[in-house]
Structure 1
């Protein structure tokens, strides 16, 4: 019997979900945390580390679960903090396996007879996604020092699901809302079942104690605000602030076309959200051997910076900066 099909009383439980046995002889399992309240209500699903180098969010989930009072909680929270343990163990975005699609963010609902990535997706689908009334799939900047600050929803969702997802995104309360292409994601699968979703992209890894603590607190507050909007906890959602909604056609990335050392001009958390004029120098790439500047990265449109990168080694095509174009985006 699947854990979320059981009718349990109030309390907190932890389940190990079997996926398969690895060539090493180790058992591949996923951990599922379930906190059930004393009052009836919806089931909120939470996923983190779908990408194995995006680990900050699992600490936010830990703090959220520890904050819940089952006596006053309506409904239940079901969370898989480590969605891809194989990728987490090597601090890599994708699953370290021999063949097939290895990005867990692209293979939902998975395949129980597929490769390791597809099998993990299948277990997540059967044990979490098929049982939730709303889903939050949290991401952050990962390996290489990328900073993030936005919440995504699937632009192709049916209109009623899109509007419900937009309400979740607004409740999480980032300054930027991105109607994105979420093909193959847990969100796309849930939206197809009529379930609203929000995909926050917030913070990063190895940020230092002050910035990390601030981003973790922000993520916890966003999750609590979503729970309040769903009537699960007896507090008010965070007051909606001015938020910029932009689609895929309004997203302009500025990435290096050559490898080298990126000297970033926008590498601190306060830089996210800044209005950037077209032509602004975002950074430059220095050749690692000649030590000469070999490329300047310039803003291609006037807009708002919603992800950036710390200074460091990059290759051609490394994600560096992204702007939401002001002229084609909408303030809510």
Structure 2
């Protein structure tokens, strides 16, 4: 007996047949000029049944690595060989992307606006559209980000490490670091967790820049997750990921010019020098030291710092419970 034919997928009023790819525009709003504004999607509707996975990039409009990761992943996918469906939104915050801004025109952070509302602000309406047309159709999500505000991150997955389903996906993604991260009100991840949808948040590189290492790790990770879900043929075996339960940002004790002397991925011991802060006249210099044994997973790229600024993000790989304090990107 022949296998039952897979049904088409209808999204945004457009039908996508099994074994086909399609580009879809979801209307969002009308600009003051009278032009329309849409959320672009790429849909790969596999010929065979399977789960649905969404990929999202540029929820913050200045975070470009996710856009490139999705472009390269889509280039690898063949709908006729795919089991299930991939719904990709390379640029969710189109307004911010066009203006090279993290935010929407009203200065709202889209990643503090989920699950959104059909009658709310522009950010709320965009969040609602993404939830109803993309997230609610999916079984798993992968949200792609970079560091913000002149910060660069070592490739890492942030997720609920206490959830077995999510951890299985994180291990298959196999970023160098997998970090337990608390939920932020209004974030896409928090909205998905409330709906019972497993989600991985990938952090790698910095805003406004392509980072080839971050992009390569992201592409390989997404493809491994699709293989783990049996949506495509197995690829390379997943390398080990380092599970981190806590981390801390080392902050500036004084204002001045910061010279970084460590690197992303460096293993450090307590007291190791991470950099130094000096004034513009060279009259004073203060060492910045690692607070505990760990791995450098984030750094500032801006030498000009003020007292209290986040300088170096260190993942805690020690065992002392008094040190266990989660400290995600201050702006994510």
Deviation at 1:50, TM superposition (A): 1.3
| Residues 292, 119 of structure 1: alpha-carbon distance in 2 compared, 3 angstrom cutoff | farther
Task: Work out the CA distance in 1 between the residues paired with 2:88 and 2:256.
Answer: 39
> Which has the larger displacement, 256-265 or 124-133?
256-265
The alignment status of 1:275 with 2:267, answered yes or no, reads: yes
Residue 187 of structure 2 is aligned with which of 185, 188, 197? 185
Deviation at 1:72, TM superposition (A): 0.9
Q: How far, CA to CA, are the matches of 2:33 and 2:310 in structure 1?
A: 34
Kept after mapping to 2: 8 A contact 1:4/1:128:
no
Contact 1:278 1:298 (C-alpha < 8 Å) held by counterparts: yes
Structure 2 CA distance for partners of 1:193 and 1:329, relative to 1, 3 Å: farther
For residues 73-152 of structure 1, the aligned pairs below 5 Å read: 73-97=82-106, 102-152=108-158
For residues 306 and 99 of structure 2, what CA distance do their matches in structure 1 show? 20
Partner of 2:39: 30
Deviations 1:111-137 (A, max 9, x none): 222222222211111111111010000
SS at match of 2:87: strand
For 1:17, the equivalent position in structure 2 comes to 26
State how many pairs are aligned: 311
**Contact 1:47–1:79 (CA under 8 A) maintained in structure 2:** yes
Alignment of 1:165-184 (within 5 A): 165-183=166-184, 184=186
Unpaired runs of 5+ residues, structure 2, are: 1-9, 322-332
Of 48, 52, 64, the match for 2:61: 52
- Separation (CA, whole Å) in 1 of partners of 2:13 and 2:157: 27
Instruction: Report the CA distance between 1:318 and its aligned residue.
Output: 4.0
In the TM superposition, residue 164 of structure 1 has moved relative to its aligned partner by 0.8
Structure 2 equivalent of residue 227 of structure 1: 226
| Larger CA deviation: 195-204 vs 59-68 | 195-204
Change (3 A) 1:265 1:167: same
Q: Please give the root-mean-square deviation of Cα atoms over the aligned residues, in Å.
A: 2.6
State the distance in 1 between where 2:36 and 2:287 align: 48
CA shift in 2, pair 1:82/1:316, >3 Å: farther
Aligned to 1:305: 296
Aligned to 2:329: none
Q: Which residue is 2:324 aligned to?
A: none
Q: 1:80 to 1:257 in 2, by over 3 A?
A: farther
C-alpha distance in 1 between matches for 2:28 and 2:282: 48
1:153 aligns to 2:159 (yes or no): yes
1:176-222 deviations in whole A, cap 9, x for unaligned?
111101222222222222211111112335667xxx33332221111
Change (3 A) 1:43 1:313: same
Unaligned segments of structure 1, at least 5 residues: none
**Map of 1:326 onto structure 2:** 317
Aligned partners of 2:154 and 2:265 also within 8 Å: no
Equivalent in 199, 211, 223 of residue 197 of structure 1: 199
* Alpha-carbon distance in 2 for matches of 1:28, 1:84: 11
Cα distance in 2, alignment partners of residues 47 and 219 from structure 1: 12
Alignment partners' CA distance in 2, 1:315 and 1:83 = 33
Give the greater-gyration-radius structure (CA): 2
Determine helix, strand or coil for the equivalent of 2:146: coil
**1:9 offset after TM fit, Å?**
2.5
Pair 1:263-2:266 in alignment:
no
Alpha-carbon contact 1:135-1:187 (below 8 Å) kept: no
